[in-house]
Amino acid sequence: MPPTSNIPVPEYEVDEDELITGEAVALDLRPASFILRAAGALIDGIVYIAFFLGVMMVVSASLLGETDDALTAAITLSLIVLCFVGVPLTVETLTHGRSVGKLAVGARIVRDDGGAIGFRHALIRALTGFLELYGTFGGVAALVALFNGRTKRLGDLVAGTYSQNERVTYYPKPVFGVPASLIEWAQTADVARMPDPLARRVSTFLNQASELTPDTRNRLSRSLADQVSVYVSPVPATNAELFLAAVTAIRRDREYAALRLERANLARLAPALDGMPRGFPDRG
């Protein structure tokens, strides 16, 4: 058994609110903040109110003098339901959780498991939204969202949805070198015999390690370390993940150095390779 198998791997904490997929990968899904949700709701409210007033003006102009009070009230109620329930329901269903306000703030309504919402979710949100957003001028929605970890309003709690922030700042992944405890070992380590497919598997694991659950991360690092140790000499006495990181960094640095040397040699030979033989006429 290689030495890495007997070295304990550090424990890693998992946030209780993280979404764990069936492949044991922890997804980093960030809910929209209260300010973003409020801004998006305000924009949607302005759009739907403007749409309602526009429709009312058109209907009033077309039916001027031809309706009584009862019919006017019925038409008004129908337009209210259409503009403040039917339109949001249709928009969120067709766009899978988007609207004008959510597009403006970079948010989308998704299910609690991260999937796209359907008609049922949009219907529940539209019905409750009419009461908590327009019926109370957003008071109930703001109060519920302030005391909720994912800034859910009442409609989200009932429908099992939340607002996901889709404009997450991109941070480039840092490039790590050989761990400090293995620098001396790296100077004489032989890692050239490791097959390229295995090296790619190790690189993939290291890139995704932070997204894995602790048990899966420990298990995969040990398994890969056992496979890699067959092609490495000597094998250091360290934990599995540090061992994999050191081997990957050594291969990367040595291959980069070899590539630079090859390019330098080609640049030195370029005049002879691109030039014409002595005495040969240049017809170009």
Say if residue 159 is in the same domain as residue 38. Answer: yes
User: Do 68 and 41 lie in a common domain?
Assistant: yes
Same domain, 62 and 116: yes
CA–chain centroid gap for 17, Å, is: 15
Q: How many domains does the chain have?
A: 2
pLDDT at residue number 267 = 86
SS3 state at 50: helix
The answer to whether residues 101 and 183 belong to one domain is no
Band (pLDDT 50/70/90 cuts) for residue 194 is confident
User: Do the domain assignments include residue 280?
Assistant: no
- Both 181 and 252 in a single domain? yes
Checking if the pLDDT of 234 tops 50, the result is yes
- Asked if residue 57 belongs to a domain, the reply is yes
My answer on whether 125 and 82 are in the same domain is: yes
Q: Same domain, yes or no, for 161 and 33?
A: yes
Residue 14 lies in a domain: no
Predicted model pTM: 0.56
Distances, alpha carbon 240 to alpha carbons 126, 192, 237, 254, in Å: 52, 19, 9, 21
pLDDT tens string 247-275: 999 988 888 888 899 898 888 887 777 76
- Give the residues across from 171 on adjacent strands: none
Place of tokens 């960094």: 249
Does 156 lie in the same domain as 58? yes
Residue where a domain terminates, one of 165, 192, 222:
165
Expressed as residue numbers, the domain containing 151 is 26-165
86-121 in b/e form (b: 16+ CB < 10 A) is ebbbebbbebebebebbeebebbbbbeeeeebeeeb
pLDDT tens, residue by residue, 42-94: 999 999 999 999 998 988 888 766 667 788 888 889 999 999 999 999 999 99
Query: Same domain for 203 and 115?
Result: no
**End position of a domain, from candidates 165, 182, 208:** 165
pLDDT at 283: 64
Same domain assignment for residues 177 and 203: yes
Question: What's the confidence (pLDDT) of residue 64?
Answer: 67
Among 146, 165, 184, the domain boundary falls at: 165
